[in-house]
Structure 1
Amino acid sequence: MDLQAERKLWEEVRGGNKEAFRSLANSLIPKAYRTAYMMLRSKHLAEEAVQNALIELYAAIMSGRDIVRPSGWFSRLIALRSIDIARKEQSYKMNIDIDEMDIQDGSASPLDDLLRKEQSAFLLESIMDLEVNQRIVVGLYYFQEMQIDEIAELLGIKEGTVKSRLYHARLKLGGMLGRARPQTKEIPV
Protein backbone atom coordinates (compact mmCIF):
# COMPACT_ATOMS: atom_id res chain seq x y z
CA MET A 1 0.00 0.00 0.00
CA ASP A 2 1.44 3.36 -0.93
CA LEU A 3 1.89 6.29 1.43
CA GLN A 4 -1.04 8.32 0.08
CA ALA A 5 -3.44 5.41 0.46
CA GLU A 6 -2.25 4.82 4.04
CA ARG A 7 -2.67 8.48 4.97
CA LYS A 8 -6.16 8.52 3.41
CA LEU A 9 -7.14 5.47 5.46
CA TRP A 10 -5.81 7.17 8.63
CA GLU A 11 -8.06 10.15 7.97
CA GLU A 12 -11.06 7.92 7.35
CA VAL A 13 -10.38 6.02 10.58
CA ARG A 14 -10.23 9.34 12.47
CA GLY A 15 -13.62 10.10 10.94
CA GLY A 16 -15.05 6.92 12.49
CA ASN A 17 -14.87 4.57 9.49
CA LYS A 18 -14.33 1.09 10.94
CA GLU A 19 -13.92 -0.50 7.51
CA ALA A 20 -10.99 1.85 6.86
CA PHE A 21 -9.25 0.57 10.00
CA ARG A 22 -9.93 -3.01 8.92
CA SER A 23 -8.36 -2.31 5.50
CA LEU A 24 -5.35 -0.65 7.11
CA ALA A 25 -4.90 -3.48 9.61
CA ASN A 26 -5.31 -6.19 6.94
CA SER A 27 -2.48 -4.65 4.92
CA LEU A 28 -0.15 -4.56 7.95
CA ILE A 29 -0.92 -7.82 9.78
CA PRO A 30 0.80 -10.45 7.56
CA LYS A 31 4.26 -8.88 7.71
CA ALA A 32 3.82 -7.96 11.38
CA TYR A 33 2.80 -11.50 12.31
CA ARG A 34 5.73 -13.06 10.45
CA THR A 35 8.14 -10.74 12.22
CA ALA A 36 6.62 -11.29 15.65
CA TYR A 37 6.51 -15.07 15.13
CA MET A 38 10.14 -15.16 14.05
CA MET A 39 11.19 -13.14 17.10
CA LEU A 40 9.00 -14.91 19.66
CA ARG A 41 8.84 -18.50 18.35
CA SER A 42 5.23 -18.82 19.42
CA LYS A 43 1.96 -18.36 17.56
CA HIS A 44 0.20 -17.27 20.72
CA LEU A 45 2.84 -14.69 21.66
CA ALA A 46 3.07 -13.40 18.07
CA GLU A 47 -0.69 -12.90 18.02
CA GLU A 48 -0.43 -11.05 21.34
CA ALA A 49 2.29 -8.75 19.97
CA VAL A 50 0.26 -7.98 16.84
CA GLN A 51 -2.88 -7.38 18.88
CA ASN A 52 -1.04 -5.01 21.24
CA ALA A 53 0.46 -3.13 18.30
CA LEU A 54 -2.95 -2.81 16.60
CA ILE A 55 -4.44 -1.36 19.77
CA GLU A 56 -1.62 1.18 19.92
CA LEU A 57 -2.07 1.93 16.23
CA TYR A 58 -5.76 2.67 16.73
CA ALA A 59 -5.04 4.84 19.78
CA ALA A 60 -2.38 6.79 17.85
CA ILE A 61 -4.75 7.40 14.95
CA MET A 62 -7.63 8.49 17.17
CA SER A 63 -5.42 10.79 19.24
CA GLY A 64 -4.59 12.75 16.09
CA ARG A 65 -0.95 11.78 16.15
CA ASP A 66 0.74 12.74 12.87
CA ILE A 67 2.98 9.94 11.62
CA VAL A 68 5.02 10.53 8.48
CA ARG A 69 5.43 6.87 7.37
CA PRO A 70 2.60 4.83 8.94
CA SER A 71 3.79 1.39 7.77
CA GLY A 72 7.36 2.09 8.91
CA TRP A 73 6.09 3.32 12.26
CA PHE A 74 3.98 0.16 12.62
CA SER A 75 6.99 -2.04 11.79
CA ARG A 76 8.92 -0.42 14.61
CA LEU A 77 5.93 -0.77 16.90
CA ILE A 78 5.57 -4.50 16.21
CA ALA A 79 9.29 -4.97 16.86
CA LEU A 80 9.03 -3.11 20.17
CA ARG A 81 5.98 -5.09 21.31
CA SER A 82 7.71 -8.35 20.34
CA ILE A 83 10.80 -7.34 22.30
CA ASP A 84 8.63 -6.45 25.31
CA ILE A 85 6.98 -9.86 25.22
CA ALA A 86 10.32 -11.65 24.66
CA ARG A 87 11.74 -9.95 27.73
CA LYS A 88 8.68 -10.91 29.78
CA GLU A 89 8.67 -14.47 28.53
CA GLN A 90 12.45 -15.00 28.53
CA SER A 91 12.16 -18.47 30.00
CA TYR A 92 9.57 -19.92 27.63
CA LYS A 93 10.53 -22.61 25.16
CA MET A 94 8.06 -23.41 22.37
CA ASN A 95 8.29 -25.85 19.53
CA ILE A 96 7.95 -24.61 15.98
CA ASP A 97 5.03 -26.07 14.09
CA ILE A 98 6.62 -26.02 10.64
CA ASP A 99 3.96 -28.28 9.13
CA GLU A 100 1.32 -25.56 9.43
CA MET A 101 3.50 -22.91 7.79
CA ASP A 102 2.81 -22.38 4.13
CA ILE A 103 5.91 -21.25 2.26
CA GLN A 104 5.03 -20.74 -1.37
CA ASP A 105 6.80 -19.64 -4.50
CA GLY A 106 6.25 -19.90 -8.21
CA SER A 107 8.49 -22.88 -8.92
CA ALA A 108 7.74 -25.25 -11.75
CA SER A 109 7.33 -28.63 -10.07
CA PRO A 110 5.89 -30.10 -6.88
CA LEU A 111 9.29 -31.64 -6.11
CA ASP A 112 10.92 -28.19 -6.29
CA ASP A 113 8.17 -26.87 -4.00
CA LEU A 114 8.79 -29.65 -1.50
CA LEU A 115 12.57 -29.13 -1.48
CA ARG A 116 12.23 -25.35 -1.09
CA LYS A 117 9.72 -25.79 1.72
CA GLU A 118 12.06 -28.21 3.49
CA GLN A 119 15.01 -25.81 3.11
CA SER A 120 12.95 -22.83 4.27
CA ALA A 121 11.72 -24.77 7.29
CA PHE A 122 15.27 -25.78 8.15
CA LEU A 123 16.49 -22.17 7.85
CA LEU A 124 13.63 -20.94 10.05
CA GLU A 125 14.39 -23.61 12.67
CA SER A 126 18.04 -22.54 12.62
CA ILE A 127 17.09 -18.88 13.13
CA MET A 128 14.83 -19.89 16.00
CA ASP A 129 17.79 -21.60 17.69
CA LEU A 130 19.73 -18.33 17.91
CA GLU A 131 19.91 -16.42 21.19
CA VAL A 132 17.08 -13.91 21.59
CA ASN A 133 19.34 -10.85 21.03
CA GLN A 134 20.66 -12.31 17.78
CA ARG A 135 17.22 -13.47 16.67
CA ILE A 136 15.83 -9.96 17.19
CA VAL A 137 18.48 -8.21 15.09
CA VAL A 138 18.23 -10.87 12.36
CA GLY A 139 14.45 -10.39 12.29
CA LEU A 140 14.65 -6.62 12.14
CA TYR A 141 17.43 -6.60 9.56
CA TYR A 142 16.24 -9.34 7.19
CA PHE A 143 12.48 -9.56 7.76
CA GLN A 144 11.62 -5.93 8.56
CA GLU A 145 14.39 -4.66 6.24
CA MET A 146 15.55 -2.08 8.76
CA GLN A 147 18.95 -0.41 8.49
CA ILE A 148 21.63 -0.97 11.15
CA ASP A 149 21.30 2.58 12.47
CA GLU A 150 17.51 2.17 12.75
CA ILE A 151 17.90 -1.09 14.66
CA ALA A 152 20.43 0.51 17.01
CA GLU A 153 18.08 3.41 17.70
CA LEU A 154 15.08 1.14 18.18
CA LEU A 155 16.88 -1.17 20.62
CA GLY A 156 18.83 1.61 22.35
CA ILE A 157 22.21 0.04 21.58
CA LYS A 158 25.26 1.07 19.56
CA GLU A 159 25.50 0.35 15.83
CA GLY A 160 28.62 -1.70 16.52
CA THR A 161 26.60 -3.93 18.84
CA VAL A 162 24.01 -4.49 16.10
CA LYS A 163 26.77 -5.34 13.61
CA SER A 164 28.40 -7.68 16.11
CA ARG A 165 25.14 -9.51 16.82
CA LEU A 166 24.46 -9.87 13.09
CA TYR A 167 27.99 -11.13 12.50
CA HIS A 168 27.80 -13.73 15.27
CA ALA A 169 24.30 -14.77 14.19
CA ARG A 170 25.56 -15.30 10.63
CA LEU A 171 28.48 -17.36 11.94
CA LYS A 172 26.15 -19.54 14.01
CA LEU A 173 23.72 -19.94 11.14
CA GLY A 174 26.56 -20.82 8.79
CA GLY A 175 27.76 -23.46 11.23
CA MET A 176 24.27 -24.87 11.76
CA LEU A 177 23.45 -24.91 8.07
CA GLY A 178 26.82 -26.30 7.07
CA ARG A 179 26.92 -29.26 9.41
CA ALA A 180 23.26 -30.21 9.64
CA ARG A 181 21.91 -29.49 6.18
CA PRO A 182 18.84 -31.63 5.50
CA GLN A 183 19.59 -34.65 3.42
CA THR A 184 17.85 -34.82 0.07
CA LYS A 185 17.29 -38.22 -1.41
CA GLU A 186 17.74 -38.80 -5.06
CA ILE A 187 14.57 -39.93 -6.69
CA PRO A 188 14.99 -42.52 -9.42
CA VAL A 189 13.59 -41.43 -12.74
Structure 2
Amino acid sequence: MIASKSILALIAIGLFGLVISCDAQIKVEGACPNVTVIPNFNATAYMGLWYESAKYPVIFETGGICVTANYTLLQDGSVEVINSQKNKYIHLPISIKGNAVVVDNAKLLVNFPSIPGPAKTGSNYWVLDTDYVNYSVVFSCSQSSSTSHTEVLWILTRAKNPSVQTIIDAVKVISKNKLSVDNLKVTKQENC
Protein backbone atom coordinates (compact mmCIF):
# COMPACT_ATOMS: atom_id res chain seq x y z
CA MET A 1 0.00 0.00 0.00
CA ILE A 2 2.79 2.43 0.91
CA ALA A 3 4.69 1.55 -2.27
CA SER A 4 1.63 2.12 -4.44
CA LYS A 5 0.96 5.50 -2.77
CA SER A 6 4.61 6.45 -3.36
CA ILE A 7 4.33 5.51 -7.02
CA LEU A 8 1.09 7.47 -7.33
CA ALA A 9 2.76 10.47 -5.68
CA LEU A 10 5.69 10.29 -8.12
CA ILE A 11 3.30 10.05 -11.05
CA ALA A 12 1.27 13.00 -9.75
CA ILE A 13 4.39 15.09 -9.19
CA GLY A 14 5.65 14.17 -12.66
CA LEU A 15 2.36 15.11 -14.27
CA PHE A 16 2.20 18.27 -12.15
CA GLY A 17 5.62 19.25 -13.41
CA LEU A 18 5.10 18.18 -17.00
CA VAL A 19 1.89 20.11 -17.52
CA ILE A 20 2.74 23.17 -15.46
CA SER A 21 4.34 24.55 -18.60
CA CYS A 22 0.84 24.79 -20.10
CA ASP A 23 -0.31 28.19 -18.99
CA ALA A 24 -4.06 27.57 -18.96
CA GLN A 25 -7.06 25.76 -20.24
CA ILE A 26 -8.95 28.97 -20.96
CA LYS A 27 -8.22 29.68 -24.61
CA VAL A 28 -9.46 33.00 -26.02
CA GLU A 29 -9.35 34.39 -29.54
CA GLY A 30 -7.28 37.47 -30.23
CA ALA A 31 -4.43 39.11 -28.38
CA CYS A 32 -3.95 39.19 -24.62
CA PRO A 33 -6.23 41.83 -23.11
CA ASN A 34 -4.97 45.11 -21.72
CA VAL A 35 -5.25 44.90 -17.97
CA THR A 36 -4.31 47.32 -15.23
CA VAL A 37 -1.98 46.26 -12.41
CA ILE A 38 -1.94 47.83 -8.97
CA PRO A 39 0.18 51.01 -8.88
CA ASN A 40 3.06 51.21 -6.41
CA PHE A 41 3.12 47.48 -5.69
CA ASN A 42 4.56 46.74 -2.22
CA ALA A 43 6.35 43.40 -2.55
CA THR A 44 7.19 43.26 1.16
CA ALA A 45 3.54 43.60 2.21
CA TYR A 46 2.58 40.93 -0.35
CA MET A 47 4.82 38.24 1.13
CA GLY A 48 3.46 35.36 3.18
CA LEU A 49 0.78 32.72 2.83
CA TRP A 50 -2.14 33.06 0.41
CA TYR A 51 -5.01 30.61 -0.05
CA GLU A 52 -6.40 30.02 -3.52
CA SER A 53 -10.07 30.92 -3.29
CA ALA A 54 -10.95 30.61 -6.99
CA LYS A 55 -9.23 30.30 -10.34
CA TYR A 56 -9.69 29.60 -14.01
CA PRO A 57 -9.23 25.84 -14.49
CA VAL A 58 -5.59 24.98 -15.01
CA ILE A 59 -4.15 21.64 -16.04
CA PHE A 60 -1.45 21.57 -13.38
CA GLU A 61 -4.03 21.80 -10.59
CA THR A 62 -6.20 18.90 -11.78
CA GLY A 63 -7.52 17.23 -8.64
CA GLY A 64 -6.01 19.97 -6.48
CA ILE A 65 -7.65 21.04 -3.24
CA CYS A 66 -6.22 23.04 -0.34
CA VAL A 67 -4.11 25.07 -2.78
CA THR A 68 -1.78 27.66 -1.25
CA ALA A 69 1.02 29.92 -2.37
CA ASN A 70 3.71 31.09 0.04
CA TYR A 71 5.98 33.96 -0.96
CA THR A 72 9.24 34.91 0.75
CA LEU A 73 11.27 37.99 -0.21
CA LEU A 74 14.95 37.11 -0.53
CA GLN A 75 17.90 39.39 0.12
CA ASP A 76 18.64 39.77 -3.59
CA GLY A 77 15.13 41.15 -4.17
CA SER A 78 13.76 38.01 -5.80
CA VAL A 79 10.88 36.04 -4.33
CA GLU A 80 10.87 32.40 -3.31
CA VAL A 81 7.60 30.77 -4.39
CA ILE A 82 6.24 27.58 -2.85
CA ASN A 83 2.97 26.37 -4.35
CA SER A 84 1.26 23.53 -2.51
CA GLN A 85 -1.86 21.49 -2.94
CA LYS A 86 -3.42 18.22 -1.87
CA ASN A 87 -4.48 15.89 -4.67
CA LYS A 88 -8.03 14.67 -4.04
CA TYR A 89 -7.52 11.55 -6.16
CA ILE A 90 -4.43 10.14 -4.47
CA HIS A 91 -4.83 12.01 -1.15
CA LEU A 92 -1.24 13.17 -1.07
CA PRO A 93 0.29 16.63 -0.80
CA ILE A 94 2.22 18.04 -3.75
CA SER A 95 4.38 21.15 -3.75
CA ILE A 96 6.74 22.87 -6.11
CA LYS A 97 9.36 25.51 -5.44
CA GLY A 98 10.22 28.33 -7.79
CA ASN A 99 11.22 31.95 -7.84
CA ALA A 100 9.90 35.23 -9.11
CA VAL A 101 11.36 38.56 -10.02
CA VAL A 102 9.60 41.88 -10.28
CA VAL A 103 9.86 42.96 -13.91
CA ASP A 104 7.90 46.20 -13.67
CA ASN A 105 5.91 47.33 -10.62
CA ALA A 106 3.25 44.60 -10.08
CA LYS A 107 4.33 42.53 -13.09
CA LEU A 108 6.37 39.56 -12.00
CA LEU A 109 7.96 36.71 -13.90
CA VAL A 110 7.69 33.36 -12.12
CA ASN A 111 9.67 30.26 -13.01
CA PHE A 112 10.10 26.76 -11.69
CA PRO A 113 13.65 25.63 -12.57
CA SER A 114 12.84 21.94 -12.09
CA ILE A 115 10.24 22.07 -14.86
CA PRO A 116 11.06 21.96 -18.59
CA GLY A 117 9.46 24.37 -21.04
CA PRO A 118 7.87 27.80 -20.44
CA ALA A 119 7.59 27.28 -16.67
CA LYS A 120 11.37 27.08 -16.58
CA THR A 121 11.88 30.32 -18.49
CA GLY A 122 9.06 32.16 -16.79
CA SER A 123 5.36 32.87 -16.75
CA ASN A 124 3.61 36.18 -16.21
CA TYR A 125 2.25 36.87 -12.74
CA TRP A 126 0.49 40.21 -12.77
CA VAL A 127 -1.10 41.52 -9.58
CA LEU A 128 -4.17 43.36 -10.84
CA ASP A 129 -5.07 44.52 -7.36
CA THR A 130 -4.58 43.61 -3.73
CA ASP A 131 -5.25 45.12 -0.33
CA TYR A 132 -2.39 42.93 1.01
CA VAL A 133 -4.44 41.74 4.02
CA ASN A 134 -7.55 40.16 2.47
CA TYR A 135 -7.35 39.49 -1.27
CA SER A 136 -5.20 39.52 -4.36
CA VAL A 137 -6.30 39.14 -7.97
CA VAL A 138 -3.57 37.72 -10.19
CA PHE A 139 -3.64 37.38 -13.97
CA SER A 140 -1.41 35.62 -16.47
CA CYS A 141 -1.74 35.67 -20.24
CA SER A 142 0.28 33.90 -22.88
CA GLN A 143 -0.07 34.37 -26.63
CA SER A 144 -0.48 30.80 -27.91
CA SER A 145 -0.72 31.71 -31.60
CA SER A 146 -1.17 34.77 -33.77
CA THR A 147 -4.94 34.41 -33.36
CA SER A 148 -5.42 33.22 -29.78
CA HIS A 149 -4.11 33.36 -26.23
CA THR A 150 -4.54 31.52 -22.95
CA GLU A 151 -5.51 33.11 -19.65
CA VAL A 152 -5.14 32.18 -16.01
CA LEU A 153 -6.81 34.16 -13.25
CA TRP A 154 -6.58 33.58 -9.52
CA ILE A 155 -8.35 35.04 -6.52
CA LEU A 156 -6.00 34.60 -3.57
CA THR A 157 -7.05 35.34 0.00
CA ARG A 158 -5.27 35.52 3.32
CA ALA A 159 -8.10 33.64 5.02
CA LYS A 160 -8.83 30.01 4.22
CA ASN A 161 -12.53 30.90 4.31
CA PRO A 162 -12.74 34.53 3.18
CA SER A 163 -15.63 36.84 3.88
CA VAL A 164 -18.26 37.54 1.24
CA GLN A 165 -17.02 41.15 1.09
CA THR A 166 -13.50 39.96 0.30
CA ILE A 167 -14.79 37.98 -2.68
CA ILE A 168 -16.97 40.90 -3.82
CA ASP A 169 -13.92 43.18 -3.74
CA ALA A 170 -11.92 40.70 -5.82
CA VAL A 171 -14.72 40.24 -8.36
CA LYS A 172 -14.92 44.03 -8.80
CA VAL A 173 -11.25 43.99 -9.86
CA ILE A 174 -11.96 41.24 -12.40
CA SER A 175 -14.95 43.11 -13.82
CA LYS A 176 -13.02 46.40 -13.95
CA ASN A 177 -10.43 44.66 -16.14
CA LYS A 178 -13.18 43.21 -18.37
CA LEU A 179 -12.17 39.63 -17.60
CA SER A 180 -14.67 36.81 -17.25
CA VAL A 181 -15.96 35.78 -13.85
CA ASP A 182 -17.88 32.93 -15.54
CA ASN A 183 -14.69 30.86 -15.89
CA LEU A 184 -13.85 31.01 -12.17
CA LYS A 185 -13.99 27.74 -10.24
CA VAL A 186 -14.00 27.77 -6.44
CA THR A 187 -11.06 25.96 -4.84
CA LYS A 188 -12.00 23.56 -2.04
CA GLN A 189 -10.20 24.49 1.19
CA GLU A 190 -11.77 21.84 3.48
CA ASN A 191 -10.23 18.71 5.02
CA CYS A 192 -6.76 20.05 4.42
Give the TM-score of the pair, scaled to structure 2: 0.25
TM-score normalised over the length of structure 1: 0.26
Answer 1 or 2: which has greater helix percent: 1
Higher strand share: 2
| Higher relative contact order (Cα pairs below 8 Å, separated by 6+ residues) | 2
Look at both structures and tell me which one has the larger radius of gyration over its CA atoms.
Answer: 1
